[in-house]
Amino acid sequence: MRDLLNLGALHRRIVLPAVLCLVVVACQGDTAGTTTTAGAETPDTTAAPATTEPDTTETTAPPATEAEDGDGEVRFLMAENFWADWVPYSSTALSQKRLERQIYDYLVDFPSGDLSQPEPSLATSWEQIDDTTWEFTIRDDVVFHDGQPMTAADVKASVELASGFSGESAYALTWAPAEVEIVDDYTVRIITEEPFAPMLAELWWTPIVSAQWLEGDEGDLATTPNGTGPFRLVEDSVNVKTMEPNPDYWQEPATIDTLVWEFIQDPQTRLDALLSGDAHAIDRVPPEHLEILEAEGGIELVGVTGIESVNLFVAPGRLPIWDENPDFRRAVNLSFDRGPLVENLVMGASAPAGSFLPTNTLFYQEQEPPFAADPEGAMAALEAAGVPDGGPPFEIWVAEGFLPRAVPVVEAMVAQMQGIGLNPTVVTSDVAGLIDDAFSETGTGAMYHLSWATAGDPNQAASVYSSAFAWYFGDEELDAMIAEGRTTLDPAEREQVYADLQAHMWEQAWHVPLYNSDFTLAHVSELEGILVQPHVFRTDFYPASLSD
């Protein structure tokens, strides 16, 4: 009975709206270096931080061979909606990227998470021939799920499309248009117009798809991914993606017989499913469930600080004093305390923002002094801004069911802001309404509680503040630095570019940095070998296994 009561107390909070992580990402990574042969030498990148159902549609993938002595089914409950279809490179939805990693392979990998340590994957070796040309040798023993062998033509079609060279691509936001020359069936040269420093890191998240498939029926592209990865999609419904091992995988086939990724909105339902044995793993464990899971035997928790900046993103033009007056921006940034928000509300492995680039980003530098609650300093900044009364009223929008504990976090911030005389109000919405308000001409909000997840390369993290995105305040110096970081190959020089960029952003504070997200995944102890990295919340089930 005591157990029952304890559990009852722990289940008091029920949060029906989902934790939906729409934060979308284009992927990235670092590189530079000159000549590199995977597995032998590494790029001379420096200062890389060691980082820690019923509506089922059967796909046309070839039938899987039954794995002998397989591990059975593994069911992973996602907190994020499956936003997108399977058309390659058509969206940068985070959930889709995570899912694609089970089905596709990539030219290179960074299994340690350290962006200075690339490892071979589909490419066995590579070399930077000159500032704008990279040569890759690819494996000759890889076949797609439909049985077609992978050749240089597939790499050409994939990279040219993803980079925006040969067609429309959402990935092009962070790629540079890249032409691919086929040297022979298993050798390609990737050529960019300008030097492109994040080449390897970008390839880390660019799935290699079949050229023949790309030319095929558009409907098939949307519904039937054809990769070379360890799993292949066998059933596809709006909320459930069922995969089976690829029997022809170029490495040892996966031992999990069936891998199910399922979207379940309610965190309480995900928790119940894990505790009752109906699921093997759940992600985005909310802070209020950590204690329950820690007390539970047979459950492992994996928590990392996500490479995800949570900011109050400010919409240019909505609050003129923000656009024009650095003192006002400083006043807002000094008006509240990030530490207690993180410690008491966001919790888990989250961390207060120390830079506009997320923690664990290559070339991350903690900025000094950090923004901390300084009511007197904030009021002095308001005085200097010419608005000792706190200035005009403005709206801060926050989405329920988007980032964990978002509403209380914003309410706590707003209370502190009001304490120094600022005049914000909180507007609560769902994520679709928030996004709509932020970008429609009739939007009324000034600030939006949103996040930006990346794969660890600073170019990706910084690009959201560039002129390519709608969060740009016309800071040409910043835009130039972002471009320079993308084209600077020498690691030491590149590090300096990002050091300057981070200092500049901290000083200008065009947006309000808050914290880096917690990413905590829980799984049954029998499930071993899941690869969890903060880079775009990577969660790979190969080569995981399920013991008896």
Partner 1 sequence: MRGRVLLIRLGQMVLVVLAVVTIAFFVLRLATGDPARLVNPPGTPEEIITQTRERIGTDKPVAIQYVDYLWNAAQGDLGTSFRGAQSVANAVFGALPNTLSLAGITIVISATLAVALGALAAWRPGSILDRGVLVWVALAQATPAFWLAVLLVLIFSLNLRWFPAIDMAGWRSFVLPVTTLVVTLSPILIRTSRQSFIETLREDYIKAARARGLPSWRVFAVHGVKAASLPLVTLIGLQLGFLLAGAVVVEAIFNWPGIGKLILDSLASRDFPMIQGGILVAAVVFVVLNFVVDMLYAVLDPRVGAARA
347-406: contacts with partner 1 (CB under 8 A): 401
Q: Is the peptide bond before 543 cis (omega within 30 degrees of 0)?
A: yes
Q: Hey, which residues between 225 and 254 contact partner 1 (CB under 8 A)?
A: 236-239
Please pick, from the candidates 340, 432, 477, 525, the single residue that binds partner 1 as defined by CB under 8 A.
Answer: 432
Q: Which stretch binds partner 1 (CB under 8 A): 345-353, 444-452, 515-523, 527-535?
A: 444-452
Smallest distance from the beta carbon of 92 to partner 1, in angstroms?
Answer: 6
Smallest distance from the beta carbon of 219 to partner 1, in angstroms?
Answer: 7
Q: Hey, which residues between 154 and 183 contact partner 1 (CB under 8 A)?
A: 168, 170, 173
Q: Is 52 in the site for partner 1 (CB under 8 A)?
A: no
Smallest distance from the beta carbon of 513 to partner 1, in angstroms?
Answer: 16
Please pick, from the candidates 4, 63, 184, 476, the single residue that binds partner 1 as defined by CB under 8 A.
Answer: 4
Q: Hey, which residues between 74 and 113 contact partner 1 (CB under 8 A)?
A: 81-87, 90-93
Q: Is 332 in the site for partner 1 (CB under 8 A)?
A: no
Paired with 254 in beta bridges are: none
Q: How far apart are CA 439 and CA 424, in angstroms?
A: 20
Q: How far apart are CA 376 and CA 382, in angstroms?
A: 10
Give the H or E element holding residue 520. strand 512-524
Q: Which of residues 275 and 413 has its CB atom nearest to partner 1 in the complex?
A: 275
Residues 6+ apart with CB under 8 A from 365: 355, 498, 499, 502, 503
Q: Is the peptide bond before 287 cis (omega within 30 degrees of 0)?
A: no
Q: Is 261 in the site for partner 1 (CB under 8 A)?
A: no
Residues 6+ apart with CB under 8 A from 26: 92, 170, 171, 173, 174, 175, 205, 460, 463
The residue with tokens 């989405």 is 399
Please pick, from the candidates 111, 439, 474, 507, the single residue that binds partner 1 as defined by CB under 8 A.
Answer: 439
Please pick, from the candidates 73, 119, 323, 430, the single residue that binds partner 1 as defined by CB under 8 A.
Answer: 430
Smallest distance from the beta carbon of 221 to partner 1, in angstroms?
Answer: 9
Q: Which of residues 386 and 439 has its CB atom nearest to partner 1 in the complex?
A: 439
Site string for partner 1, 277-296 (x = CB under 8 A): -xx-----------------
Please pick, from the candidates 40, 69, 141, 276, the single residue that binds partner 1 as defined by CB under 8 A.
Answer: 276
Q: Hey, which residues between 203 and 222 contact partner 1 (CB under 8 A)?
A: 219, 222
Is there a contact between 515 and 355 (Cβ–Cβ < 8 Å)? no
Give the alpha-carbon dihedral of 75, 242, 105, 547, to 10 degrees: 30
Please pick, from the candidates 7, 295, 372, 415, the single residue that binds partner 1 as defined by CB under 8 A.
Answer: 7
Smallest distance from the beta carbon of 69 to partner 1, in angstroms?
Answer: 25
Paired with 133 in beta bridges are: 130, 191
Q: How far apart are CA 164 and CA 409, in angstroms?
A: 38
How many secondary structure helices (H) and strands (E) does the chain include? 17, 22
Smallest distance from the beta carbon of 14 to partner 1, in angstroms?
Answer: 6
b/e sequence 368-378, b meaning 16+ C-beta within 10 Å = eeebebbeebb
Q: In terms of Cα–Cα distance, which of 18, 115, 96 is closest to 533?
A: 115
Beta strands in 317-358 (DSSP E): 351-352
Q: How far apart are CA 411 and CA 6, in angstroms?
A: 30
Smallest distance from the beta carbon of 43 to partner 1, in angstroms?
Answer: 27
Question: Would you call 131 helix, strand, or coil by DSSP?
Answer: coil
Tokens of 330: 């400083």
Please pick, from the candidates 268, 418, 428, 496, the single residue that binds partner 1 as defined by CB under 8 A.
Answer: 268
Smallest distance from the beta carbon of 133 to partner 1, in angstroms?
Answer: 28
The residue with tokens 């907190």 is 79
Please pick, from the candidates 26, 302, 351, 398, the single residue that binds partner 1 as defined by CB under 8 A.
Answer: 26
CB atoms within 10 A of CB 504: 14
Smallest distance from the beta carbon of 42 to partner 1, in angstroms?
Answer: 30
Sort 9 into a burial class: Cβ within 10 Å, 0-12 / 13-18 / 19+: exposed
Task: Give the number of residues in contact with partner 1, rule: CB under 8 A.
Answer: 74
Sign of CA dihedral 36, 39, 44, 48: positive
Please pick, from the candidates 35, 39, 50, 53, the single residue that binds partner 1 as defined by CB under 8 A.
Answer: 53
Q: Hey, which residues between 445 and 504 contact partner 1 (CB under 8 A)?
A: 448, 450, 452, 464, 468-471
Smallest distance from the beta carbon of 95 to partner 1, in angstroms?
Answer: 10
Q: Is 438 in the site for partner 1 (CB under 8 A)?
A: yes
Please pick, from the candidates 70, 326, 392, 433, the single residue that binds partner 1 as defined by CB under 8 A.
Answer: 433
Q: Hey, which residues between 134 and 153 contact partner 1 (CB under 8 A)?
A: none
Tokens of 482: 């972002």
Please pick, from the candidates 45, 265, 309, 355, the single residue that binds partner 1 as defined by CB under 8 A.
Answer: 265
